Amino acid sequence: MSDAMEQFTIKKLLPIKLGEYDISFTNSSLCMLLTCVIVIAIFSFCLRKRCLIPTAAQCVPESIYEFIHNMVIDNMGRDGMKYFSFIFTLFLFVVTGNMLGLFPYSFTFTSHIAAVGTLSLIGLALNIYAGIKHKKWGYLRTFFPKDVPWLMAPLIIPIEIISLLSKPFSLTIRLAANMTVGHIMLKTIAGFIVALGILGGEFPFIFAGCIIAFEIFIGILQAYIYTILSCIYLGDALHSH
């Protein structure tokens, strides 16, 4: 059985140097690009013939659209529809990346802190932008609520700043850790299928199938959790007092 951690190794496919910076095209970059291509291809195929009464293929993107639409309305209100495109793209990118990582010889970029952390930092920047745009400089009250005594400022302000900065950190660690652990478990158990096959019967393959089905469920669930928490954090920036 090969090393279970080998699947998380970033490999350079096209070495590129920009001064002292290494911006090589890697297997992680390739899978991110494939994720975008897959999403565009699926939506293009399903929406190639748009009808008033949707076909089975058309129901797929429409169902996803309605799902994300309801998520945004429930957690951000009507004001949040300005940021619907970001939330919609975020969910599709993460869930497709999670699913793509289940294929042999693929790479799960959502298991790497650098990739997920970049998405989370973009979300943080959008939160700050949305808060300032919606509340102007009143957004700074987020770090020091109105009714709190000024003597508490040295304690409250650092706590609120740490709380804000911890949001992308928690999002990143939750998604990356779950995808890493799940794939390690899948790789380890799959490595024993040949040994278990000595016992005869179909049990090893059924067991592996159950693990794969569970990992698909986890991938979709983690994408949902990541997206809905991003919605909640953005909603807080818009509506918190």
Query: Which domain does 226 fall in, by range?
Result: 6-239
In a domain, 207, yes or no: yes
CA 147-149-152 angle, to 5 degrees, is 125
In a domain, 112, yes or no: yes
CA atoms lying within 13 Å on the CB side of residue 158: 3
Nearest Cα neighbor of 105 from 46, 41, 31, 170 is 31
What confidence score (pLDDT) does residue 241 get?
A: 54
**What's the mean pLDDT in 73-93?**
91
Position with higher pLDDT, 117 vs 51: 117
In a domain, 124, yes or no: yes
- Which of 43-57, 75-89, 135-149 is the least confident region? 135-149
* Model confidence pLDDT, tens digit, residues 173-231: 999 998 888 878 777 776 676 566 545 556 666 777 787 888 889 899 999 999 999 99
Number of domains in the chain: 1
**pLDDT reading at 67 higher than 80:** yes
Supply 66's token pair. Answer: 């309605």
In a domain, 1, yes or no: no
**In the chain, count of helices (H) and strands (E)?**
7, 4
In a domain, 217, yes or no: yes
Supply 163's token pair. Answer: 């709380």
Residue type, 188: T
CA gap 144, 146 in Å, rounded: 7
What confidence score (pLDDT) does residue 1 get?
A: 45
In a domain, 15, yes or no: yes
What confidence score (pLDDT) does residue 135 get?
A: 78
DSSP code of residue 89:
H
In a domain, 183, yes or no: yes
| Whole-number average pLDDT of the chain | 84
Position with higher pLDDT, 204 vs 77: 77
**pLDDT reading at 16 higher than 80:** yes
**What's the mean pLDDT in 161-167?**
87
**What's the mean pLDDT in 17-33?**
87
* Model confidence pLDDT, tens digit, residues 34-48: 999 999 999 999 888
* Model confidence pLDDT, tens digit, residues 96-143: 999 998 887 888 899 889 899 999 999 999 988 888 888 787 777 777
**What's the mean pLDDT in 2-10?**
72
What confidence score (pLDDT) does residue 35 get?
A: 95
In a domain, 102, yes or no: yes
**What's the mean pLDDT in 67-88?**
90
CA gap 64, 72 in Å, rounded: 12
